[in-house]
Structure 1
Amino acid sequence: MKTDPTDNRSAAPIERIQDNMIARLERRALNRLCAGMPAWTTPDMLTLVGMIGAFLVFGGYVASNLHPGWLLLSIAGYVVHWFGDSLDGSLARFRKIERPRYGYFLDHSCDGFATVLLVVGIGISPYVQLEVALVALVGYLLMSIHAFLSVRVLGELRLSYLNAGPTELRLILIGLTLAMLIAGQENPIVFQLNGFDLFVGSVGIILISLFVVQTAKTAKRLAKEDPPIRNQD
């Protein structure tokens, strides 16, 4: 039976590459949580929990314009988001009920929307300028595009870069939020940018630079693996 190379259902399994700092520790924790999860819990329910967490983060940042104590809601939201976002695919693999195309589409669609909520929420808070937060959002989405393109051309889904993945990023954002809560609104340091602006902007610049470097590396690799086909006369 012949297979259509454009049909994703006949494609080889995607290789997941994850070498972030706490990957092994997190994997053990996720396996234990999966083993103790009630039978009625489904991956889709956990995806919904993750999105609820993202909305809690967004709401906490927006409400921090009224009182800084609302930042605690954002911190709690990060925990809820990690729980749902990390466990949905893990539970499917643990129970061997994967739905590769559906799960890939739904998970990454929700990830993109959740990231917009998190970063725009930071920009709406009184601690970071929205324009600066959008630089970080552009950097993250560019890296997401690179990851999705790599799945198509390399069959690899890289979940971490520079020994950091989504969980490390959440921990960084929790630390940033705690700093906002403790330090309060800071005065400008350079070009009307305060310390939080400089930090978030630097993260965005690093992500954009990483996208450029990884794109060049992948293009160089593909140029060797996929040479031009010369017509034989």
Structure 2
Amino acid sequence: MKTNKKLFADRKRTNILSVPEQKFISYLVPRIPQSITSDGLTAIGLLGSLIIFASFVLANYFNINYLWLAPFGFFVQWFGDSLDGRIAYYRNKSRKWYGFALDIVMDWISTVFIGLGFHLYVESEYEIMGFLLVALYGWAMIISQLRYKITDKYTIDAGLLGPTEVRVILCLVIILEILIPGTILYAVFLICVALFFINLVDTKKLMDLGDERDAAEKTNL
């Protein structure tokens, strides 16, 4: 499989899995049936989030083995979320600002569903961790959008970690929970701590970028 570089010319990726991920996407894009539109792929991504939500609910009320649905849901979510914009570029039907707005809204809705699923799965005294996970990921999303506003360059990665790596980590956490029930609480706590400090560092970098742009604009006056 070779990477179709034209498909990814609109954004710079720094995540660990970017090379194999882009090769796989380049392989998939030409094979998507014409009947499946970019909006259809966005809907598929949302369906993946609903599968993850359902896996938590079913695991809570029936059997923990329903959590095996979650990794499948994350794959479906990745498939739709990663290919919707790329298929539009491949077919020369991209709508930059429409796609940007839809992508952000769907990412937030997906995050809320996953957080709500976790909230319903854990015992009541740990429910706040679901809120913290959603809030911290929302903070990361806000930083991403502000960085785009300040630099005019859009990136969805926080250094070596991007949405794909986050999905892989969450899948591993859920699988570990199936094998050793209760471990998800410790794992999500560690993820929240890591997200908090990553967001602090990225916020400082964002402020520095804002200072640089302010200085540049004053110089040009």
CA shift for structure 1 position 152: 1.1
Aligned partner (choices 11, 22, 32) of residue 16 of structure 1: 11
What is the one-letter code of the residue matched to 2:94? E
- Preserved CA contact (<8 Å) 1:31 1:94: no
CA shift for structure 1 position 229: 4.5
Runs of at least 5 residues in structure 1 that lack an aligned partner in the other structure: 1-13, 187-194
Cα distance change of structure 1 residues 127 and 158 upon mapping to structure 2, 3 Å threshold: farther
Counterpart CA distance in 2 for 1:70 and 1:130 is 20
* Higher mean C-alpha displacement, 209-218 vs 75-84: 209-218
* Corresponding position of 1:172: 169
Counterpart CA distance in 2 for 1:164 and 1:127 is 30
What is the one-letter code of the residue matched to 1:177? I
Q: Which has the larger radius of gyration?
A: 1
Counterpart CA distance in 2 for 1:149 and 1:41 is 32
Counterpart CA distance in 1 for 2:115 and 2:73 is 13
Counterpart CA distance in 1 for 2:68 and 2:87 is 28
Q: What do residues 161-206 of structure 1 show as CA deviations (whole Å, max 9, x unaligned)?
A: 131111111111111111111112x3xxxxxxxx422221221122
Alignment of 1:102-121 (within 5 A): 102-121=98-117
Aligned partner (choices 79, 82, 92) of residue 78 of structure 2: 82
* Corresponding position of 2:56: 61
* Corresponding position of 1:154: 151
Counterpart CA distance in 2 for 1:58 and 1:211 is 25
Q: Under a length normalisation based on structure 1, what TM-score does the superposition of the two structures give? A: 0.83
CA shift for structure 1 position 139: 1.1
What is the one-letter code of the residue matched to 2:145? F
RMSD: 2.0
Alignment of 1:187-206 (within 5 A): 195-206=183-194
Taking only the aligned residue pairs, the percentage that are identical comes to 25
Report whether the alignment pairs 1:41 with 2:29: no
- Preserved CA contact (<8 Å) 2:174 2:184: no
- Preserved CA contact (<8 Å) 1:133 1:201: no
CA shift for structure 1 position 49: 0.5
Paired residues in the alignment total: 209
* Corresponding position of 1:125: 121
Counterpart CA distance in 2 for 1:136 and 1:75 is 18
Aligned partner (choices 51, 74, 93) of residue 89 of structure 2: 93
Greater helix share, 1 or 2?
2
| Local SS of the residue matching 2:92 | coil
CA shift for structure 1 position 39: 1.4
Aligned partner (choices 39, 45, 52) of residue 50 of structure 1: 45
Q: Under a length normalisation based on structure 2, what TM-score does the superposition of the two structures give? A: 0.88
- Preserved CA contact (<8 Å) 1:15 1:155: no
Aligned partner (choices 199, 206, 211) of residue 218 of structure 1: 206
Runs of 4+ in 1 over 4 A off after TM superposition: none
Counterpart CA distance in 2 for 1:172 and 1:120 is 18
Counterpart CA distance in 2 for 1:15 and 1:35 is 19
Report whether the alignment pairs 1:29 with 2:24: yes
- Preserved CA contact (<8 Å) 1:49 1:80: yes
Q: What do residues 17-72 of structure 1 show as CA deviations (whole Å, max 9, x unaligned)?
A: 31111101101101111011111111000000010110010001011012112112
